[in-house]
């Protein structure tokens, strides 16, 4: 396997469950071909806290300097590249399950190192373990989450968040901002840009003509203007322009029913391949309701592939060995599929 098939995993907040689910994914043989960017001691400590079958043993950790060196390690060894910019004093004594500026700084350093590796083409994709926004803020990081941080590292390229599982895919027009500010940010231009990015992403997955449903903003998609005019004044013109460009977009649909119509199940083939939602919670609640274990966050518009688990740092169970790695495993599998579809080259997805 050549170096372009290597995936990077950023360790996430070291006070959360990120290191634990990373260790569990490697131990289960579901993180092969991955390298971890972060702090080797944090990953080793997570492995020591977990009880493993004595016949299989717990995975060991090895520090490496470059992704290619992972190929020289025995099976079962977790390769870790020490991220530049980790807290100078280290992370000794870090309390699990608590907001800490050192944890935020370490999480930030791991993300930056993994993203830079992806930008250089050293890895085919970046999978990010969960971070805690308060810890980032405490560390002085001026971004509310992965999406905005990665956007900044990529010179402000327009990006969108997609949350996906086997049943439903949702792309958001607005992300981490108050509802009042989000409504102000919903313009014909931002909706049209989202539709174009969704179409482009699907084409990279091999789906040239995805059926895109656009959810309205207001109850019943405005009910003909009775409950708001954003649908007719802002959203519908964007859909019309997208259709004139050959994009199979429809709507605006009533947001309380469109996700049921789009859901793909064995006894209910979805009417749509993806739903574009105006607001963060409008789009994410339906996907998360279907189960956090299989959900994957994908950032569209970056010059490299980025996926992430569909859950947070779970401070309430950090260090207890109870964290489920299923969503991280799904994020790794999604990153592999997207990288394969892109020919293991850096592309916008």
**pLDDT recorded at residue 347:** 38
d(CA 254, CA 257): 6
Largest distance between two CA atoms of the chain: 66
| Better-predicted residue by pLDDT, 56 or 255 | 255
Model pLDDT for residues 156-192, shown as the tens digit of each residue: 889 999 998 889 999 999 988 999 999 999 999 999 9
Mean pLDDT, residues 52-80 taken together: 85
Taking 70 as the threshold, does the pLDDT of residue 54 lie above it? no
**pLDDT recorded at residue 345:** 40
Mean pLDDT, residues 271-281 taken together: 96
Tokens of 248: 């199979």
For residue 51, what pLDDT band results from cuts at 50, 70 and 90? confident
- Cα end-to-end span (Å), the chain: 23
**pLDDT recorded at residue 344:** 41
**pLDDT recorded at residue 58:** 74
Q: Among 41-55, 79-93, 122-136, 333-347, whose mean pLDDT is lowest?
A: 333-347
CB 271 within 8 A of CB 213: yes
**pLDDT recorded at residue 311:** 87
CB 305 within 8 A of CB 157: no
CA 106 to centroid of chain Cα atoms: 19
| Better-predicted residue by pLDDT, 347 or 293 | 293
User: By CB neighbour count within 10 A (0-12 exposed, 13-18 middle, 19+ buried), where does 75 fall?
Assistant: exposed
**pLDDT recorded at residue 346:** 40
Mean pLDDT, residues 73-102 taken together: 92
Tokens of 71: 């190929």
Q: Specify the DSSP class assigned to residue 64.
A: E
| Mean pLDDT computed over every residue of the chain | 91
d(CA 315, CA 39): 19
Among the listed residues 162, 79, 154, the one whose alpha carbon sits nearest the alpha carbon of residue 304: 154
**pLDDT recorded at residue 340:** 86
d(CA 329, CA 316): 21
Taking 70 as the threshold, does the pLDDT of residue 53 lie above it? no
Mean pLDDT, residues 4-28 taken together: 93
Tokens of 331: 């994020």
Model pLDDT for residues 111-120, shown as the tens digit of each residue: 999 999 999 9
């Amino acid at each position: 396997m050549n170096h372009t098939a290597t995936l990077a995993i950023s360790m996430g907040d070291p006070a959360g469950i990120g290191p634990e689910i990373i260790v569990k994914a490697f131990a289960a043989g579901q993180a092969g071909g991955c390298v971890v960017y972060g702090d080797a001691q944090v990953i080793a400590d997570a492995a020591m806290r977990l009880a493993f079958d004595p016949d299989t043993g717990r995975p060991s950790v090895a520090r490496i300097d470059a992704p290619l060196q992972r190929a020289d390690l025995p099976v079962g060894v977790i390769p870790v590249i020490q991220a530049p910019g980790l807290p100078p004093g280290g992370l000794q004594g870090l309390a699990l399950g608590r907001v800490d500026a050192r944890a935020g700084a370490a999480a930030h350093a791991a993300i930056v190192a993994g993203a830079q590796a992806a930008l250089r083409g050293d890895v085919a994709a970046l999978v990010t373990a969960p971070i805690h926004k308060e810890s980032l803020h405490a560390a002085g990081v001026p971004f509310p989450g992965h999406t905005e941080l990665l956007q900044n590292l990529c010179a402000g390229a327009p990006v969108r968040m997609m949350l996906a599982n086997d049943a439903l895919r949702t792309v958001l027009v607005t992300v981490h901002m108050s509802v009042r500010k989000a409504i102000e940010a919903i313009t014909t231009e931002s909706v049209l840009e989202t539709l174009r990015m969704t179409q482009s992403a699907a084409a990279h997955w091999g789906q040239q003509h995805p059926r895109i449903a656009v959810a309205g903003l207001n109850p019943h998609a405005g009910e003909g203007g009775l409950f708001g005019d954003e649908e007719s004044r802002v959203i519908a013109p964007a859909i019309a322009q997208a259709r004139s460009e050959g994009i199979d977009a429809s709507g605006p649909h009533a947001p309380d029913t469109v996700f049921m119509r789009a859901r793909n199940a064995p006894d209910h083939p979805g009417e749509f391949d993806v739903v574009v939602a105006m607001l963060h919670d409008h789009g994410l609640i339906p996907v998360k309701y279907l189960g956090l274990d299989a959900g994957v966050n994908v950032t569209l518009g970056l010059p490299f592939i980025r996926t992430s688990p569909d859950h947070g740092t779970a401070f309430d169970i950090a260090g207890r060995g109870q964290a489920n790695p299923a969503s991280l495993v799904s994020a790794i599998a999604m990153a592999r599929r997207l990288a394969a579809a892109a020919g293991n080259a850096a592309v916008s997805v």
